[in-house]
Structure 1
């Protein structure tokens, strides 16, 4: 700084007076050479020093004055990561004893704390890692990356008693939040391999329709109401292999965050939940290969550093061999069945410098299924995202993302009497910027903007060479722009109360890329009530929706080991998945809100109590929630949704309410670990209208397809020794609502069942027991030297006692007695399913 005062300022004809003793010699000042504003330069000189300035007789005089230490502010920031692999640790706690406060690392492992000048004791904690302690003297800004060492089993008993009370204080303010620990998830039973969605079904409030179906339902919401993301990019289809396996390769997954009701303001577009899956970044220190060989899937992953560790990379691939197995079975019934999938993941991270990082992520997946004479169905996702992380002034974290998300579907039939190909596609192009400003330990500000361009081909049907009918169908393209801005501020008020208040302002603009039908007012929409057509590319053929969505949470610390929370969330959904079935399938169609299709608005209220019990080393929570939705989409009885150019005539709108209580306990450390969850809930819908054809069940409330009164899941893991561990899952829940016929009538000699009110009955209750054993092949040689190669064997049995759980009923005429109907029960995986998987890493 002395150089600046002696050479730079005098060169600009600026006269300045000061005493040598008050000016630090080693302080450096960084500013743009183009900035010559005197006030800016003088402020930089005096910043965080006992200096001030004033003008005396056309001369600037620097003066010394005594300031209290609290007026000096310095920032410590950095990234928290695994010391062995360099992988970032999300949600690690940085706690400052002297101020009884701290902060958690964000989704990129970054933390920042601005503190008064002084000495501090710092504790850094993360589940499954050794706690790190260090002292720091804050007399200047400090960039301090923190590396944590994975915790060995022997050390757990030494640190269990001191870690969790601090974790309660530093716990996220958000309610209804779960994170899936991938290390623990690897030990529990699965059908085939470790799976994110199968693991989530063991948490309270998360269900699905049944075995062999895709998607999950959160607190009674439909599967299309889940915002599922991979490295910031939205996924439209999240399952492989009949819904039994998710698209997320477990080897490549770093973190899984599930938000069931308290959405941060940066998330929008879906009404039920947020499931954000983040891929690993690649090992920063060494080259590694890992993977597994199994009866259902096999996988391989490579990762490592490059360019002097400035670049890390990760590639993974998965596939199944079931096609090959089925085609070589002696039973000809299986020869016409196809069941295969493949997917590939890739990720690069480039460290430009300590304040700038660039990420490039990609995913590609494909499925193909066919049953006997049924048509061949193909579908898949493709995702690419480019992200830039920038740290400004040690306390503002910028994450700018551009991504493309694509979904494609096709059905191919090549029989002589029906030869066609049907296909549909979705393409999203998005740009968003998310900023976190760590203003001080008690105030964190989140804000940002986003824009998504939706380009949909809802469906087209093209005749093949064997079909001479020429009845091709092409639904018009749909295009829309979904944009939003948001602000949220987290504030600690006193020693016990923390608040998070914010809003999200959204806009959806249907661009009118196709003709739109105008229907007669105050009449049900049908072909008979069409009165006009708005032509494409006209100003009138643009529909825009605006909505302000407030969100807020209050957290009160009841004591050292307990807290309570109260939250309110509102959201709106502009994209809808139309399906004739209770579970989503690859052939379902996505549509966007516009002139004739309304967005769905949701509000949710949540309160809960959270406590840690140190004597038994267990975390527990109880949450109550109430959710109501408006303009919920349903279908008329017998609705035709496939390649329908006027699909809005098949839709009706109503309301939905969901409420319940969730109990959850979890034990993370020790030889016995696991968790248990129980949910008591109710989900009801109401479709009331002056026109009978737009009503369901005479306008009364009725159980939703996703209503489940009781839902219980128990997971237990026991470490027998260093080699063997055993685990089990037990699941029990109430059968879903179902419509049974109460009578039948005859049409042209054919008996047709008559169905009364919708969902007036239920299927039988569901229960299942799974068991798994993991054998860790010794990582040490006979000499005691550790091997570079690690491996294990996982033996599992799904549905151990062969429970024949009911998935659905079919009613058909009895062949021997046409006047009688026979009932056929459908059970999926109604027998024990054994599996063995060999995992390796070197």
Structure 2
């Protein structure tokens, strides 16, 4: 590495004890404004910035012979500003997020890879991947910055059934993910029963994803952590936007109330209850094809159908900067799904029957966070939150006077305190305490015959955590060591969970990353019957106990290397993940183990590969994951291991995006090998009405293949008003993809094969106005 560059890195990272003799080669500094003017002439570009952003900044002139990209990267390093290349002509300069310490600025968590997949997605030295939805440009198949759709483009993350509410990270089930919205734990993440994210894409600002090496401050989830934050900075003027697509309309506003306060509002509502689009038809067919409301496999003949489906969400955030060193943030969110479904049909005896079914999903959450920065560089924060999730279904067979009601409710109260202190430009400590009380209620009421069941369980958890973050003086080595100690009151268990993250710069272009963690989890989703909640939502939350649902534990380690030069990124990461104490009821078996419970584990070994190349206005990437995911249950399959139902051994995605001025287009290919499923045995005993199966998960579905495209055009609508037009198609070629296969009996007691299809050809359009 160039001696002068080494000198600059050393100077800016450890200026409190630098050696003047080492920096004698430095040239006389110039103002940043002068340097930018020279670069504009040299490269025929234009820098866009607010004057106050670069005021008072002087740096050493750049050395000769640098490319534009190298010059911009050097400026990022020397100025601690964001330089975003908007096109081959324009470059935007904005302030970076910083931590202030006694009139100095220190960066302990730094971005090491920008434009990880596309603009707005970056990777940091602590192992997390961050997505800035405001800087996000385009991903194939997306015309809105849907945070949970974005994360599924990352290597090792996929939804095996295309539902946002069923994100699988390195072979884990969705309930093993910790999803936080403004510090609120979320138990519902999808509208339209999982196909659309519940988080408003135009108020959400930052998304942080941790697949391994999670910070010790996060707990009670054995797979990934996904933290979503809204904009946290006060605006100088009112701004907002309204828009819609083929499913819903939405709007948001940021309203300064004073110099110290601001109110942020966002709302969205579907109009599917009175306008039906092609998008709605595709979504409806995808979700209801394997539910008991589906008529294609019904025993009876349908005469009439009346359906009504709506969803909405509402978010509000109050920002109050009390003074220069303390602030208060208050958040409120509400999410709602409702389905009314009425049928009139004839039975095999030519009798008329009428049923009325209703399904509701409601989530409510609120949080309040107070933070204080002391003069000695210590940061204090306190947060309280409440999260409520309620899922209930009713099925009323009016003709036969039969009524079924089911309810699953989760209430989560949380309180946490954090303290962090930067001891030096290369050393930081984080400490904290967290308390949670989680209650789960399950209710079932059946008439004719009469049956009622009500259970409620509560677990209180106390946790303390601490970690040390260390940076070498050369800024080449990053190390975070931490541990979380949790006590689960009802279970009387004390769990110690060490975590670590290590990042080493090997040379100018190569980096090494090693991550590891132990985790535990006291709440999980189980399936009592495949027809729970009308077969649309088959999972219900349940707490660990001392009987048949133990505390889940996991261990994971990964190591990877990356190469990043001249807009080319190549990364390779291998991982090992083991999760113990899972229950068979949580795995959704639709074979000989459907009504059998046992305690077991799964083990995943895999490799994530990514290559990303940017040239001119194009960005292309190819990601590939190879993994082997196996179950082991002591009492299932004679104690022998067998393939996990989520075992996708090969997953590959290829994308190409093009951005020029106000026009963006993205094309993507998605392929993965088929899921395992269990075939019936070649010989069947027809006398007992029970399907006899071969060995579990002995066969695989056909390979999955899907092509997506999206286009976005931005233009100036009027003075101070901008507009966006977007169009996308999911599954352009209407490929028939089978994502699940199981077997059941039909009306004449003969066995039939049920194939659940993925989304068909699904177009979408959007139009937005921002002011």
What TM-score range do you get, normalising by the shorter chain?
0.7 to 0.9
Does 2:625 align with 1:676?
no
Stretch of structure 1 that moved more, 444-453 or 177-186: 177-186
Stretch of structure 1 that moved more, 147-156 or 349-358: 147-156
Equivalence for 1:461: 444
Distance verdict in 2 for CA 1:703–1:450, change over 3 Å: same
Query: How far apart, in 2, do the equivalents of 1:697 and 1:342 lie?
Result: 44
Distance verdict in 2 for CA 1:391–1:433, change over 3 Å: same
Query: How far apart, in 1, do the equivalents of 2:536 and 2:630 lie?
Result: 23
Distance verdict in 2 for CA 1:346–1:420, change over 3 Å: same
Query: How far apart, in 2, do the equivalents of 1:771 and 1:825 lie?
Result: 26
Does 2:751 align with 1:800?
no
Does 2:193 align with 1:209?
no
Query: How far apart, in 2, do the equivalents of 1:281 and 1:265 lie?
Result: 23
Equivalence for 1:734: 673
Give the conservation status (yes or no) of the 8 Å contact 1:706–1:736: yes
Query: How far apart, in 1, do the equivalents of 2:520 and 2:233 lie?
Result: 36
Equivalence for 1:504: 484
CA offset digits 1:485-535 (Å, max 9, x no partner): 11111112453433211211111112xxxxxxxxxxxxxxxxxxxxxxxxx
Distance verdict in 2 for CA 1:244–1:674, change over 3 Å: farther
Query: How far apart, in 1, do the equivalents of 2:746 and 2:543 lie?
Result: 43
Partner residue of 1:607 out of 531, 547, 559: 559
Give the conservation status (yes or no) of the 8 Å contact 1:185–1:199: no
Does 2:174 align with 1:223?
yes
Partner residue of 1:480 out of 453, 456, 459: 459
CA offset digits 1:163-214 (Å, max 9, x no partner): xxx9539973323x32224246452244674422222221110011223573
Equivalence for 2:598: 652
Give the alignment of 1:343-358 within 5 angstroms.
343-358=313-328
Give the alignment of 1:642-721 within 5 angstroms.
651-667=597-613, 670-688=616-634, 695-719=635-659, 721=660
Query: How far apart, in 1, do the equivalents of 2:364 and 2:321 lie?
Result: 26
- 1:336 aligned counterpart, secondary structure: strand
Partner residue of 1:286 out of 215, 227, 237: 237
Distance verdict in 2 for CA 1:710–1:382, change over 3 Å: same
CA offset digits 1:406-431 (Å, max 9, x no partner): 10111112222322432221111111
Query: How far apart, in 2, do the equivalents of 1:152 and 1:319 lie?
Result: 33
Partner residue of 1:553 out of 501, 520, 541: 501
- Give the structure-2-normalised TM-score: 0.78
Distance verdict in 2 for CA 1:707–1:507, change over 3 Å: same
Distance verdict in 2 for CA 1:134–1:699, change over 3 Å: farther
Give the conservation status (yes or no) of the 8 Å contact 1:114–1:438: no
Does 2:302 align with 1:364?
no
Structure number with the bigger relative contact order (C-alpha 8 A, sep ≥ 6) is 2
Query: How far apart, in 1, do the equivalents of 2:512 and 2:588 lie?
Result: 47
Count of paired positions: 659
Q: CA deviation at 1:593?
A: 2.0
CA offset digits 1:328-386 (Å, max 9, x no partner): 99999895233321100000110111100000011100112355547311112111000
- Give the structure-1-normalised TM-score: 0.72
Partner residue of 1:836 out of 748, 765, 771: 765
Query: How far apart, in 1, do the equivalents of 2:712 and 2:740 lie?
Result: 35
- 1:202 aligned counterpart, secondary structure: coil
Distance verdict in 2 for CA 1:386–1:147, change over 3 Å: farther
Equivalence for 2:211: 260
Query: How far apart, in 2, do the equivalents of 1:484 and 1:98 lie?
Result: 42
Does 2:516 align with 1:568?
yes
Give the conservation status (yes or no) of the 8 Å contact 2:332–2:367: yes
Q: CA deviation at 1:435?
A: 2.1
Does 2:108 align with 1:168?
no
Equivalence for 2:420: 436
- 1:635 aligned counterpart, secondary structure: helix
Equivalence for 1:153: 87
Give the conservation status (yes or no) of the 8 Å contact 2:744–2:751: yes
Give the conservation status (yes or no) of the 8 Å contact 2:470–2:478: yes
Give the alignment of 1:31-110 within 5 angstroms.
98=8, 100=10
Does 2:757 align with 1:827?
yes
Distance verdict in 2 for CA 1:168–1:811, change over 3 Å: closer
Stretch of structure 1 that moved more, 652-661 or 348-357: 652-661
Give the conservation status (yes or no) of the 8 Å contact 1:294–1:835: yes
Give the conservation status (yes or no) of the 8 Å contact 1:214–1:585: no
Give the alignment of 1:307-318 within 5 angstroms.
307=258, 309-318=259-268
Query: How far apart, in 2, do the equivalents of 1:669 and 1:354 lie?
Result: 43
- 2:202 aligned counterpart, secondary structure: helix
Query: How far apart, in 1, do the equivalents of 2:327 and 2:339 lie?
Result: 41
Distance verdict in 2 for CA 1:406–1:314, change over 3 Å: same
Distance verdict in 2 for CA 1:273–1:252, change over 3 Å: same
Query: How far apart, in 2, do the equivalents of 1:729 and 1:546 lie?
Result: 47
Query: How far apart, in 1, do the equivalents of 2:227 and 2:581 lie?
Result: 26
Query: How far apart, in 1, do the equivalents of 2:741 and 2:201 lie?
Result: 35
Query: How far apart, in 2, do the equivalents of 1:637 and 1:434 lie?
Result: 36
Query: How far apart, in 2, do the equivalents of 1:658 and 1:686 lie?
Result: 12
CA offset digits 1:789-833 (Å, max 9, x no partner): 100110111100110100223545688xx6974434331323x21
Query: How far apart, in 2, do the equivalents of 1:102 and 1:371 lie?
Result: 64
Query: How far apart, in 2, do the equivalents of 1:439 and 1:622 lie?
Result: 34
CA RMSD, 1 decimal: 3.7
Query: How far apart, in 2, do the equivalents of 1:586 and 1:98 lie?
Result: 57
Partner residue of 1:321 out of 271, 287, 300: 271
Give the conservation status (yes or no) of the 8 Å contact 1:282–1:313: no
Give the conservation status (yes or no) of the 8 Å contact 2:255–2:263: yes
Query: How far apart, in 1, do the equivalents of 2:589 and 2:705 lie?
Result: 33
Give the conservation status (yes or no) of the 8 Å contact 1:191–1:244: no
Equivalence for 1:386: 368
Equivalence for 2:430: 446
Give the conservation status (yes or no) of the 8 Å contact 1:409–1:424: yes
Equivalence for 1:337: 307
Partner residue of 2:382 out of 393, 396, 400: 400
Stretch of structure 1 that moved more, 628-637 or 557-566: 628-637
Does 2:697 align with 1:762?
no
Q: CA deviation at 1:472?
A: 2.3
Q: CA deviation at 1:774?
A: 1.4
Q: CA deviation at 1:760?
A: 1.2
CA offset digits 1:614-657 (Å, max 9, x no partner): 2xx133321110112222222399999xxxxxxxx963112221
Highest CA radius of gyration, 1 or 2?
1
Q: CA deviation at 1:396?
A: 1.5
Partner residue of 1:588 out of 530, 539, 543: 539
- 1:757 aligned counterpart, secondary structure: coil
Equivalence for 2:43: none
Partner residue of 1:415 out of 394, 397, 401: 397
Query: How far apart, in 1, do the equivalents of 2:92 and 2:204 lie?
Result: 30
- 1:197 aligned counterpart, secondary structure: helix
Distance verdict in 2 for CA 1:833–1:319, change over 3 Å: same
Query: How far apart, in 1, do the equivalents of 2:143 and 2:192 lie?
Result: 11
Query: How far apart, in 2, do the equivalents of 1:774 and 1:265 lie?
Result: 40
Distance verdict in 2 for CA 1:549–1:681, change over 3 Å: same
Q: Give the gaps of 5 or more residues in structure 1.
A: 1-94, 104-112, 138-144, 160-165, 511-542, 641-648, 689-694, 782-786
